[in-house]
Amino acid sequence: MFPSDSELNEAARLIRSGRLVAFPTETVYGLGANALDEAAVARIYEAKGRPATSPLIVHVASTEAAREITAEWPELAECLAAKFWPGPLTLVLPKQRAIPATVTAGLETVGVRVPGHAVALGLLERAKVPIAAPSANRFGELSPTTAAHVRRSLGDRVDMVLDGGPTDVGIESTVVSVVSLDGPQPVVLRPGMIGIAELEAATRGIAGVAWGSARTGEMVDNLAKGGGGFASPGLQARHYAPATPLYVLVPGARLPKGRGRVIEMPAEPIGYANSLYARLHEADGEGWDWIAVHQPPQAPEWAAIHDRLKRAATG
């Protein structure tokens, strides 16, 4: 499924005129606005009910366009972009002044990526502006992986929905901070389906690179205590959640009381991620007292799925 040229042109016109357009990426559907237009960006927060402390990811059509909105572009960023873009990787870098503070939750950094989806790239190429786009749903709810999910969550809060069919990856991008600290010390702020092993392998040629995620919790705590924005989207304790209570079942766990459904999920992480939100959306609309999934394996390739379930689960 692919929108027509006239639909893409109209969506681009709406973006340039300060309106909101929902569009597919390879991860989830995004709610897009012109990232250079502060009033348009404010409409994203209003439509989603999103707190001002949660920054937005800016989508661009190319690495060259990413360099235009960032104040620094170190070797580490160049290496990661060359390996993983277009694709589900967001890089956090110092921002140019042209990016409004509303986009970045007041931080001096911006998350940027080139999406790996033909519809998203077609929209970006026609709009000719960077597009700020969080997931196209009410804040804290399940992320949308189809156009129907967007319409159910946002209704008439969005000016246009581009339907590109179901998304391929199914969960949000990996977010990596490459802001200079004491050298090239990247930090995984939000896990995604590009895992730490792939990131390390891609950057072995850069001297002194030491990957880590241990500092993430401390960074988030310090920002929250200071009243500032979160270092990355998706770091709230409660997020990605269905309306129906969700339980992650460990071996030997007793099922909750009431009428419920245990959702059987794929046994490998790519298939699990691809179907997770879609199956939760489906079960969420069936009127159960609770829904549940079995706990996935404790292995590095499952890190992003564990993160999403931890934030979405009731217990």
Question: What pLDDT score does 235 carry?
Answer: 81
Of the candidates 209, 138, 137, 145, which has an alpha carbon nearest to the alpha carbon of residue 171?
Answer: 145
Within a domain: 107: yes
- Residue stretches of the chain with pLDDT short of 50: 214-226
User: Could you tell me if 276 and 135 lie in one domain?
Assistant: no
User: Could you tell me if 130 and 62 lie in one domain?
Assistant: yes
Structural domain of residue 14, as residue ranges?
A: 5-225
User: Could you tell me if 121 and 259 lie in one domain?
Assistant: no
User: Could you tell me if 169 and 267 lie in one domain?
Assistant: no
CA torsion 298-302-303-308 (nearest 10°) is -110
User: Could you tell me if 214 and 280 lie in one domain?
Assistant: no
Question: What pLDDT score does 315 carry?
Answer: 61
User: Could you tell me if 48 and 12 lie in one domain?
Assistant: yes
Within a domain: 144: yes
**How far apart are alpha carbons 244 and 80 in whole angstroms?**
38
User: Could you tell me if 143 and 110 lie in one domain?
Assistant: yes
Number of domains in the chain: 2
Within a domain: 270: yes
Question: What pLDDT score does 193 carry?
Answer: 97
User: Could you tell me if 219 and 250 lie in one domain?
Assistant: no
**How far apart are alpha carbons 94 and 98 in whole angstroms?**
12
